[in-house]
């Protein structure tokens, strides 16, 4: 198979939550693969740090600060990106949040925050991306799902509901955009050590439970996802749409 199938050089890749955690790793690796990476997030300092790090290696990057659950911001930022770069080739809907609580302690604000970022933000970013991808008659949308898209976790009812919806949204949007040469897929990471999951690993009992359940025997890093991400961003996946790829060290197989 020709390695050119995996070439994403000169592609414009928009990544939400690109300033920290897995998103930062995605941004750095996609830039290293030749894409011009545009990071979106709420924390300017972390976004700036990511972009400066990428630029220091001779690669291209930019950032915009804002909240993906704010529809007016999403509409403006995607318009600005398209006007500046002439394309939105790849969208990675990585921004996400979790509030882990027993259901009786979940407030309306908790519910709204998780749904707004994980589902509404993903939906609205994809909605705007489709508009511009249709103009260029091609595009790759990659939503970040979760193990919680497939199975339930106690005290994560809102998170699992949002990520289950992300997987279903991926299927529905794929059906709608296939005729426009736009592929829509998702990646469901297993347990990865990030700011959002740090408290799980700090709990010794929970940490042992997590690690004992992973057949490969270790927690993942962003480098374990990047191959799947590049595959779904490139021509190598042109005949694949509506799918969710699980990257979990074998967790769901057990």
Indicate if 159 belongs to the active site.
yes
**CA end-to-end span of the chain:** 32
The C-alpha atoms of residue 210 and residue 217 are separated, in whole angstroms, by: 10
Residues with Cβ within 8 Å of residue 98, at least 6 apart in sequence: 114, 156, 159, 196
Structure-block tokens of residue 95: 């921004």
Place of tokens 């770069």: 85
- What is the rounded CA–CA span in Å between residue 42 and residue 193? 21
- Helical residues (DSSP H) of 105-197, grouped into ranges: 108-115, 122-136, 157-177
In residues, how long is the chain?
254
How many angstroms separate the CA atoms of 23 and 151, rounded? 23
Candidate list 26, 63, 82, 159, residue with the active-site label: 159
DSSP assignment string, 138-157: -EEEEEE--GGGTS--TT-H
Q: Any idea which residue has 């999403």 for tokens?
A: 74
d(CA 169, CA 126): 10
Residues catalogued as catalytic: 159
């Amino acid at each position: 198979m020709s390695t050119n199938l995996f070439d994403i050089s000169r592609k414009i890749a928009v990544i939400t939550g690109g300033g920290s955690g897995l998103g930062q790793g995605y941004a750095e690796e996609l830039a290293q693969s030749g894409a011009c990476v545009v990071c979106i997030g709420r924390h300017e300092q972390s976004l700036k740090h990511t972009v400066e790090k990428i630029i220091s290696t001779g690669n291209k990057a930019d950032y915009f600060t804002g909240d993906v659950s704010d529809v007016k911001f999403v509409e403006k930022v995607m318009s600005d990106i398209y006007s500046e770069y002439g394309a939105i080739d790849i969208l990675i809907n990585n921004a996400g949040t979790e509030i882990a609580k027993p259901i009786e302690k979940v407030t309306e604000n908790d519910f709204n925050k998780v749904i707004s970022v994980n589902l509404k933000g993903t939906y609205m970013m994809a909605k705007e991306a489709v508009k511009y991808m249709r103009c260029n008659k091609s595009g790759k949308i990659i939503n970040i799902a979760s193990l919680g898209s497939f199975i339930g976790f106690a005290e994560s009812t809102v998170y699992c509901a949002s990520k289950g919806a992300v997987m279903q949204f991926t299927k529905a949007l794929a059906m709608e955009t296939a005729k426009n040469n736009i592929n829509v897929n998702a990646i469901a990471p297993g347990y990865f050590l990030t700011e959002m999951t740090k408290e799980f690993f700090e709990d010794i009992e929970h940490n042992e439970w997590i690690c004992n359940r992973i057949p490969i025997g270790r927690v993942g890093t962003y480098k374990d996802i990047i191959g799947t991400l590049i595959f779904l961003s490139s021509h190598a996946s042109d005949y694949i749409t509506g799918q969710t790829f699980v990257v979990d060290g074998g967790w769901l197989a057990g």
